[in-house]
Amino acid sequence: MSTSLAPPASPPVNRWLQLVLGIVCMCMIANMQYGWTFFVNPIQERHGWDRAAIQVAFTIFVVTETWLVPIEGWFVDKYGPRVVTLAGGLLCGLAWVINAYADSLFMLYVGAAIGGTGAGAVYGTCVGNSLKWFPDRRGLAAGLTAMGFGAGSALTVVPIQAVIHHYSYEHAFFWFGLGQGLVVMLVALFLSAPKKGDVPTIARVSQSRRDYAPSEMVRTPIFWVMYAMFVMMAAGGLMATAQLGPIAKDFHIADTPVSLLGITLPALTFAATIDRVLNGVTRPLFGWISDHIGRENTMFLSFGIEGVGIYMLSRFGQDPFMFVILTGLVFFAWGEIYSLFPATCGDTFGSKYAATNAGLLYTAKGTAALIVPYTSVLTTMTGSWHAVFLAAAALNIIAAFMAIFVLKPMRQGYTRAQAAAEAEVKPVTAH
């Protein structure tokens, strides 16, 4: 590991433009995940399908969005970000158009699979590209890029709900899908990857001296510890993302007016808007913090807040005002996983295969998504959301302690082992 390599004399300004372009793309695909909750109840009312069956589409979306990212990342590492993002934008637009005309669960699932493939291509490309352009500020860069995905849907919460209410959910799917897809395809034309010598290499946190191929990375225990922690953290947040609308409906507070900061909105609308803003802000914030105090220390802090927040939501969430405040806290303490884990992966395994390696770790989100439909089943069996909330809170607390007592010592040992290996090689090389 090294933190003392000198940066180029004048890093190209272009890398900040590349970061902004990636953020724009992420904003355009954000509704693919975070706007879904507004469609669940209208779809159920229109077709009479079981809610758990409808939420299978969300699981399919997240699984395809995550599990295909390593393949898409391989294309990015080999051919650059432009062509992959172009294809992703096309698939995202097509997916919501299919959803607009879906008259069967099968077609809804097809749309979800296509949308997940497209969103994963865009997501994996933009995050991987930010890790390559900013090896010196990986936490901040990954956080800003992921912020686009976390907060990008905030501005469209009210418009999407208005279109669904005044026209139909089909109209919302069609027009928003078409517009979002076209913007991604346009921006994709200007994306590029850094060349050797284009970026600085100095950093405050320890980083690998060499680049690990994906096949090497998956054979290390550190990768699987991070993977397990990612699954634990993603499960609770995905549950809240997919089930926010149904939870508010079951709590009988979805349309209850809430006044905060001089604004009065229905509880669900207010919560969804604040949640998306905080879910975006937390990503660069905690990413920046981790650049200064270390990845694992930041994980312990944020994961612990998330666990407490989910538990408090289970206790006090049926009050409309507390529902808005506590869901905001939950999303604030959850979104940072999408900056901390990619940054830690890049630090540990290098930049050359950053898109593929981060993509492999990102599949943990897809694994966690398999749990989401069972939250509806568990709620039906127990008659409340309490058991679901307690399980999610417990997973977050466990992950917080793993960051300090498992991951941190492992990475420190990994650093020492690599340094020792280099010390043995140097005399041989000199001779």
Could you tell me the pLDDT band of residue 38, with boundaries at 50, 70 and 90?
A: confident
Residues 148 and 229 occupy one common structural domain = no
Residues 184 and 226 occupy one common structural domain = no
CATH number at residue 109: 1.20.1250.20
Pull the structure tokens for residue 336.
Answer: 């940072």
- At residue 134, the pLDDT reads 86
> Quick check: is 8 in a domain?
no
Give residue 248's region: left, alpha or beta (phi > 0; psi -120 to 50).
alpha
Question: Taking CA 389 as the corner, what is the angle to CA 314 and CA 240, rounded to the nearest 5 degrees?
Answer: 95
- At residue 407, the pLDDT reads 95
- At residue 6, the pLDDT reads 46
Q: Tell me how far CA of residue 37 lies from CA of 90, 179, 268, in angstroms.
A: 23, 20, 10
- At residue 282, the pLDDT reads 87
Residues 153 and 239 occupy one common structural domain = no
Q: Which residues contact 290 (CB under 8 A, 6 or more apart)?
A: 139, 205, 297, 298, 299, 339, 340, 343
Residues 24 and 158 occupy one common structural domain = yes
> Quick check: is 337 in a domain?
yes
Phi, psi dihedrals of residue 280, rounded to the nearest 5°: -85, -45
Q: Is 7 or 25 the better-scoring residue by pLDDT? A: 25
Could you tell me the pLDDT band of residue 11, with boundaries at 50, 70 and 90?
A: very low
- At residue 242, the pLDDT reads 67
123 vs 149: CA distance, rounded Å: 8
Residues 152 and 236 occupy one common structural domain = no
The tens digit of pLDDT for each residue in 289-346 reads 998 899 999 999 999 999 999 899 888 888 999 989 998 898 888 888 988 998 899 8
Residue range 380-401: mean pLDDT, rounded:
85
Q: Is 244 or 174 the better-scoring residue by pLDDT? A: 174
The tens digit of pLDDT for each residue in 251-261 reads 888 889 898 87
Q: Are 355 and 128 in contact (CB under 8 A)?
A: yes
Could you tell me the pLDDT band of residue 2, with boundaries at 50, 70 and 90?
A: very low
333 vs 277: CA distance, rounded Å: 12
Residues 300 and 372 occupy one common structural domain = yes
User: What is the number of domains present in the chain?
Assistant: 2
Residue range 136-148: mean pLDDT, rounded:
85
- At residue 20, the pLDDT reads 93
Instruction: Give this prediction's pTM.
Output: 0.74
Pull the structure tokens for residue 225.
Answer: 């510890």
- At residue 153, the pLDDT reads 74
The answer on pLDDT for 108 being more than 90 is yes
Q: Above pLDDT 70, what percent of the chain?
A: 90
Residue range 350-376: mean pLDDT, rounded:
82
The answer on pLDDT for 430 being more than 70 is no
> Quick check: is 196 in a domain?
no
The answer on pLDDT for 358 being more than 90 is no
The answer on pLDDT for 207 being more than 90 is no
> Quick check: is 83 in a domain?
yes
Q: Tell me how far CA of residue 8 lies from CA of 15, 120, 287, in angstroms.
A: 13, 33, 23
Residues 145 and 267 occupy one common structural domain = no
> Quick check: is 62 in a domain?
yes
- At residue 7, the pLDDT reads 47
Residues 251 and 289 occupy one common structural domain = yes
Residues 223 and 171 occupy one common structural domain = no
The answer on pLDDT for 373 being more than 90 is no
Residue range 168-188: mean pLDDT, rounded:
92
> Quick check: is 348 in a domain?
yes
Where a domain ends, among 123, 156, 189? 189
Parent domain of 175: 15-189
Q: Which residues contact 195 (CB under 8 A, 6 or more apart)?
A: none
Residues 243 and 163 occupy one common structural domain = no
Residues 295 and 397 occupy one common structural domain = yes
How confident is the prediction for the chain on average, in pLDDT?
A: 84
**Nearest residue to 292 (alpha-carbon basis) of 284, 349, 357:** 284
- At residue 4, the pLDDT reads 45
Q: Are 21 and 191 in contact (CB under 8 A)?
A: yes
The answer on pLDDT for 157 being more than 70 is yes
Phi, psi dihedrals of residue 104, rounded to the nearest 5°: -150, 155
200 vs 234: CA distance, rounded Å: 32
Residues 150 and 284 occupy one common structural domain = no
Number of continuous H segments (helices) and E segments (strands) in the chain: 20, 2
Question: Taking CA 184 as the corner, what is the angle to CA 13 and CA 358, rounded to the nearest 5 degrees?
Answer: 70
Where a domain ends, among 156, 189, 222? 189
The answer on pLDDT for 45 being more than 90 is no
Residue whose entry in the numeric block shows the structure tokens 């977050």: 396
> Quick check: is 200 in a domain?
no
- At residue 427, the pLDDT reads 56
Residue range 393-398: mean pLDDT, rounded:
92
Question: Taking CA 163 as the corner, what is the angle to CA 160 and CA 166, rounded to the nearest 5 degrees?
Answer: 145
> Quick check: is 430 in a domain?
no
Residue 427, classified by CB atoms within 10 Å of its CB into exposed (0-12), middle (13-18) or buried (19+), is exposed
Among the residue ranges 79-88, 260-269, 338-347, the one predicted with the least confidence is 260-269
